[in-house]
Amino acid sequence: MLRFETAGESHGECLVATLTGIPAGVPISLEAVNHELWRRQQGYGRGGRMKIETDRAEIVAGVRHSRTIGSPVAILIRNQDWQNWTEALPVEDTEGAEGKKKPVTRPRPGHADLAGAIKYNFEDARYILERASARETTARVAAGAVAKAFLGEFGIRVLSHVIAVGPVHLGRAAAWDEIEALSRRTEVLLGCVDADVEQKMKEVVDQAYRTGDTVGGVFEVVAHGVPPGLGSHITWDTRLDGRLAQAIVSMQAVKGVEIGFAAEGAASFGSAVQDTIHYDKEAHRFTRGANRAGGLEGGMTNGQDVLVRGLLKPISTLRRPLESVDLATREPALAAYERSDVCVVPAAGVIGEAMVALVVAQACLEKFGGDSLGETRRNYEGYLEQVKNF
C-alpha cells in the first residue's frame, strides 16, 4: 500500500517527506523533483518568502543509482529561512531562549492560530502556525514528484491549470495540449491557458496588493492517460472520487472540491450533464460524447481524463488585518501580520497535482500490485489486454 507522511515546520531546519510502497526500479531524477519544487514556488501574488527560498530536494533514502530500491523513499528540503529562526525556534531550550521567541498572540481569522492554541493549550500560537503553514506542501510536492515518476512509466501524466482568480473565470474547458504547453512555460504568471483571461486575473491580484487584501480562486488538476477501472464502486472508502476529494481538501486553504463539472451539473438537467456512450467499431473501443463527469463514474476511472478542481479561499493573513482578540489580555486587537502571500492559486494547482498523483499511484498499485516495476508493468499490460478484448 502506497502511503506518505510529511514532517517539518515553516521556519524549522527542514521539511521531510517519506513515501513507502513505491516498487523497486522506478527511475528518479533529482532534477525532475527540483523542477516540481520550483513550480510550487511560482505565480504572481507570492510573498517575500519565495524570493529568499529556492527549494532543493535531498533524497536520503530509498533511491540508489537513480532508481527506487523498494524501501521507503525519504526526501529532505532545507529551509533557507531557518538561519533567521535558529534562536526563535531552537530544538533545545537554553538560558535566555524565552526572550528570543517570536510569539503570535493575536490569532488571524481563517488561520489555524486560535483553534490550535486552544486545542494544544498554547498561550502563543507560534507552534500552531509553524505546522499549519502551507510550507508543509513542499514535502507533499516532493513525494508527489516520485509518484509522478512512477505514473510516467505507465504513460499517466498529471498537470494543472488555473480556471479562476477571484471573480475572473476561464469559462471554458481547457484541452490537454494547452495545459501541457502551460507547464513548459519558464515564467509563470497565473497559470491560465488563456493569456487575455490571465491578464484580467493579474488585475484582480494587483487590486488585492493595492488594498492590503488577498484573493482566492479555483485550480483544476488533470490526470491524463489513466486506464479505466481504478478505484471501485463496491465500498465507500474504495471510491476514487471520495479519495481524491479528501486529498484535495486536505490542502491548506482549499475549502471545496469539484469532480469534473459538478457545480455546473448541479444547475443543469440530466440530459445536458451525462456523457453519452458510443462505440468506435474500427478502433474497437468505447468513446464518450463529453467529459463532464471528470473521468469518474461510480467511483471508478472510466478511461477519460480525471478532472479534479480545488476551490481556494483567499489567504487569511492580511496586510490590512481583521479584528481579533489578544490571547494574553483578551482585549480587542488587530490580527497578527507576518510576511505573506496575496494569491497562491497556481502554486495550489501544483500541490493539487502532487496529491492527485499520489492517490492515482496508490490506486494503480492496489490494482496492479508488484514489488518491482517490471512486475507492476506485467500486471498492467495483462489488464490492458483484457480491456482491449472486452
Ligand X SMILES: Cc1cc2nc3c(=O)[nH]c(=O)nc-3n(C[C@H](O)[C@H](O)[C@H](O)COP(=O)(O)O)c2cc1C
Q: Which residues of this chain interact with ligand X, rule CB under 6 A?
A: 47, 110-112, 132-134, 137, 251-253, 315-317, 340-341, 344, 347-348, 351
Contact of 128 with 51, CB cutoff 8 Å: no
Q: Which is nearer to ligand X, 35 or 285 (CB)?
A: 35
**Of the candidates 278, 282, 281, which has an alpha carbon nearest to the alpha carbon of residue 304?**
278
Q: Which is nearer to ligand X, 110 or 303 (CB)?
A: 110
Q: Which is nearer to ligand X, 293 or 315 (CB)?
A: 315
Contact of 3 with 367, CB cutoff 8 Å: no
Q: Which is nearer to ligand X, 136 or 275 (CB)?
A: 136
Check the CA dihedral 384-385-386-390 and report its sign.
positive
State the residue for C-alpha cell 530509498: 62
Q: Which is nearer to ligand X, 52 or 272 (CB)?
A: 52
CB 41, min distance to ligand X, A:
9
Distance CA 140, CA 16 (A): 9
Strands 306-312 and 217-224: antiparallel
Which amino acid, residue 140?
R
Q: Cβ of 347: how many Cβ atoms within 10 Å?
A: 27
Distance, C-alpha 311 to centroid of its chain: 12
Distance CA 9, CA 13 (A): 8
Q: Which is nearer to ligand X, 45 or 265 (CB)?
A: 45
CB 333, min distance to ligand X, A:
17
CB 305, min distance to ligand X, A:
23
Q: Cβ of 311: how many Cβ atoms within 10 Å?
A: 19
The H-assigned helical ranges of 41-169 are 49-52, 113-120, 126-132, 137-152
Distance CA 145, CA 29 (A): 9
Count of all residues that appear for the chain in the document: 390
Which three three-digit cell numbers place residue 121? Answer: 493549550
Which amino acid, residue 253?
A
CB 19, min distance to ligand X, A:
20
Q: Which is nearer to ligand X, 18 or 137 (CB)?
A: 137
CB 310, min distance to ligand X, A:
9
CB 226, min distance to ligand X, A:
24
DSSP code of 9?
-
CB 160, min distance to ligand X, A:
12
CB 102, min distance to ligand X, A:
15
Q: Which is nearer to ligand X, 141 or 158 (CB)?
A: 141
